[in-house]
Amino acid sequence: MACMDLWALSDLCTPWCVHVVATLRIADHILAGNADIPQLAAASGADPDSLHRVLRHLVSKGLFEEPAPGRFALNQAARELLSGPFRLGLDLDGIGGRMAHAWGTMLSAVRTGRPAYHEAFGRGFWEDLDAHADVAASFDALMSPAGHGVPDAQVLLDPADWKSVRTVVDVGGGTGALLAEVLRAHPETRGTLVDLPRTVARSAEVLLAAGVAGRATTAAQSFFDPLPAGKDLYLLKSVLGDWPDPEAKAILRRCAEAARPSGRIVILGGVSPDDSPSPELLMMVLIGGKGRTLHEFRELAHEAGLEVRASGRQPSGRFVVECSPA
Ligand SMILES: C[S@@+](CC[C@H](N)C(=O)[O-])C[C@H]1O[C@@H](n2cnc3c(N)ncnc32)[C@H](O)[C@@H]1O
């Protein structure tokens, strides 16, 4: 690789500039008519000269335009930074800052094979969220429709299988976005949302807005404890990839215990086909999580008392794995 390419590849300046302008909501301020540097600096609480230099750097990279010296405008790329999902994930004052700074702990993570998030924030990721309600709220928001969009309710590989499903548990279901969509799509079905108390506490408005609150219950508990038992379907969406093998196996074991004898467990996210493994490096630095190939997952599931019954891609491209108690 040529020297210049390597320089561009290793440049940390641009990503930090993007995070800074997202945090300062510069795109929103420009949209509101504060386009000149003195106005922009006043509106965002920034130093005018420093902000100007950051914006000029970004203009040179194709983000924002400077139609006249010291006056900035949105281009298509900059519109992505208007308040919305992308900005939420970049905001250094919220979960975006945790994700950004966690990259600085990567050397320790690679040297030791364990997350070193505590080196940056004094405690592990989940404990850090426990200690900072505002960051936890922004994490939940990033997981919600406002962040990751409205989830796809078609969680089963064969839609005809819904005939046999009357009760669903969304394990680690965040503030209930997926459960809400599933219940909305299947009016005969009742559901239970399992997540940590602080997150479950934010689910009421999601379930109410979807018009499914009457068919939903919540269980504010850890998924390392026994789960609501005897239901037809247990969903694990974007959960297993957060955890190293021992914890992922423990969660699967809880699902297996609860689903016996005839329930099924569906994994959405965190498992990929054997020919396209995902490195999941963000999970590595944040929480020591990992992506698994289907082969790796099958072994883990087997040790947890589950058998993989089916796997495949849905029309959306999402890879889904269905299991049942062994
Ligand atoms: C990556 S998020 C995924 C949320 C949701 N399933 C989705 O796809 O948007 C992981 C979820 O696991 C929850 N979680 C973490 N530790 C947990 C625990 N010990 N017990 C229950 N939920 C937990 C978090 O609160 C969070 O909602």
The string of pLDDT tens digits covering residues 70-114 is: 999 999 999 999 988 889 999 999 999 999 999 999 999 999 999
Q: Which of 152, 199, 287 to mutate to test the pocket of ligand 1 (most atoms within 8 A of CB)?
A: 199
Q: What percent of the chain has pLDDT over 70?
A: 99
Cβ(185)–Cβ(126) under 8 Å?
no
Q: Which of 238, 240, 265 to mutate to test the pocket of ligand 1 (most atoms within 8 A of CB)?
A: 238
User: Which ligand 1 atom minimizes the distance to the CA of 173?
Assistant: 6
Q: How far is the CA of 171 from the centre of ligand 1 (A)?
A: 8
Mean pLDDT calculated for residue range 302-320 = 95
Distances (CA, A) of 134 to 26, 74, 83: 21, 29, 17
Determine the CATH number of domain 3-79.
Answer: 1.10.10.10
Does the beta carbon of 192 lie inside 6 Å of ligand 1? Answer: no
Distances (CA, A) of 256 to 163, 227, 301, 307: 21, 10, 9, 10
Which residue owns the Cα nearest ligand 1 atom 26? 174
- The helix/strand/coil state of 309 is strand
Which superfamily does CATH assign the domain made up of 150-325 to? Answer: Vaccinia Virus protein VP39 (3.40.50.150)
**Dihedral sign computed on CA atoms, order 185, 188, 193, 199:** positive
243-264: per-residue pLDDT in tens? 999 999 999 999 999 999 999 9
**Dihedral sign computed on CA atoms, order 143, 145, 148, 152:** positive
Does the beta carbon of 126 lie inside 6 Å of ligand 1? Answer: yes
Does the beta carbon of 243 lie inside 6 Å of ligand 1? Answer: no
User: Which ligand 1 atom minimizes the distance to the CA of 235?
Assistant: 6
Does the beta carbon of 138 lie inside 6 Å of ligand 1? Answer: no
Instruction: Name the pairing type of β-strands 216-220 and 233-237.
Output: unpaired
Mean pLDDT calculated for residue range 43-58 = 98
Mean pLDDT calculated for residue range 116-143 = 97
Contacts 24+ apart (CB under 8 A), 306-313: 306/252, 306/255, 306/256, 306/265, 309/264, 310/157, 310/158, 311/157, 311/271, 311/273, 312/157, 313/273
Q: Please check whether the two domains, 3-79 and 150-325, share a CATH topology.
A: no
Q: Does 128 or 8 have the greater pLDDT score?
A: 128
Q: Does 1 or 10 have the greater pLDDT score?
A: 10
Which residue owns the Cα nearest ligand 1 atom 3? 238
Q: For the chain, which residues make up each domain, given as ranges?
A: 3-79, 94-146, 150-325
Q: How confident is the model at residue 3 (pLDDT cuts 50, 70, 90)?
A: low
Distance CA 63, CA 56 (A): 9
Q: How far is the CA of 45 from the centre of ligand 1 (A)?
A: 34
Q: How far is the CA of 239 from the centre of ligand 1 (A)?
A: 6
Q: Which of 170, 181, 223 to mutate to test the pocket of ligand 1 (most atoms within 8 A of CB)?
A: 223
144-185: per-residue pLDDT in tens? 988 888 899 999 999 999 999 999 999 999 999 999 999 999
Burial 303-322 (b: 16+ CB within 10 A, else e): ebbbebeebeeeeeeebbbb
Q: How confident is the model at residue 2 (pLDDT cuts 50, 70, 90)?
A: low
Distance CA 228, CA 169 (A): 8
Q: What is the pLDDT of residue 128?
A: 98
Mean pLDDT calculated for residue range 36-53 = 98
Which residue owns the Cα nearest ligand 1 atom 4? 174
Q: Which residue has the tokens 């089963």?
A: 156
Q: What is the pLDDT of residue 234?
A: 98
Does the beta carbon of 195 lie inside 6 Å of ligand 1? Answer: yes
Residues with Cβ within 8 Å of residue 312, at least 6 apart in sequence: 157, 319, 320
**Residue 105: alpha-carbon gap to chain centroid:** 20
Per-residue pLDDT for 46 more than 80? yes
Q: What is the pLDDT of residue 161?
A: 94
Phi-psi map region of 62: left, alpha, beta (phi>0 left; psi -120 to 50 alpha): left
Which residue owns the Cα nearest ligand 1 atom 18? 222
pTM for this one? 0.93
Q: How confident is the model at residue 1 (pLDDT cuts 50, 70, 90)?
A: low
Q: How confident is the model at residue 10 (pLDDT cuts 50, 70, 90)?
A: very high
The candidate with the shortest Cα–Cα distance to 145, out of 84, 190, 59, 94, is: 84
Does the beta carbon of 181 lie inside 6 Å of ligand 1? Answer: no
Does the beta carbon of 147 lie inside 6 Å of ligand 1? Answer: no
Q: How far is the CA of 107 from the centre of ligand 1 (A)?
A: 26
Q: How confident is the model at residue 5 (pLDDT cuts 50, 70, 90)?
A: confident
Beta strands in the chain (DSSP E): 65-68, 71-73, 167-171, 190-195, 216-220, 233-237, 264-268, 271-272, 292-293, 306-313, 319-325
- SS3 percent helix, strand, coil of the chain, rounded to 5, is 50, 15, 35
Q: What is the mean pLDDT of the chain?
A: 96
Count of C-beta atoms within a 10 Å radius of residue 46: 20
Q: What is the pLDDT of residue 85?
A: 83
